[in-house]
Structure 1
Amino acid sequence: MGNFKESLKKITVHFALVLGIFILIIVLFLKVYLPSYTNHGQTVTVPDLEGFEYNELQSYLNARDLSFEVTLDSGFNAELKPLSVLKQTPKPASKVKNGRKIYVTLNSKNAPLLKMPNLVNSQLKNAQEILGNIGLIRGEIIYVPDIGINVVLEQKYRGRNIPEGFEVPKGSQIDLVVGDGLGNQILDVPNLIGMDDIDAEFLIIGSGLRMGRLNYVETDSVPSGIIIQQIPPPGATVKTGEPIDLWISESNDNRNNLDD
Structure 2
Amino acid sequence: MLKSLFNWKVLLNLVVAIGVFVGLVWLTFRWLEYHTNHGQEIPVPNIVNKSVQEAIKILDDSGLEYEVDSPQYNPKYRPFQVLQVYPMPGSRVKDGRSIILKVNPRTWARVEVPDVINKYSGLAFQRLEQVGLKVGDTIFEPSIQKDAVLRILYKGTAVKPKTKLPRFSIVDVVIGSGPMRNISIPNVVGLTIKEARAVIARSMFEVGLVEHEDGSKDESDIIYYQDPAAGDVRDQGMQIDLWASKKTPAELSAKIEQLNSIYRMKVDTGLPPVHYEEVPTNQEPVYDAPPPVIQAPKRDNPKPSTDATRSDVQKTTTAKPSVSVSENKPKSTSSGSNSGNNTGSSNKSTTAQKPAEKPKAKKVVVE
Which bracket does the TM-score occupy, shorter chain normalised? 0.3 to 0.5
Higher strand proportion, which one? 1
TM-score (norm 1): 0.40
Q: Which has the higher contact order (CA 8 A, sep 6+)?
A: 1
- Larger gyration radius, structure 1 or structure 2: 2
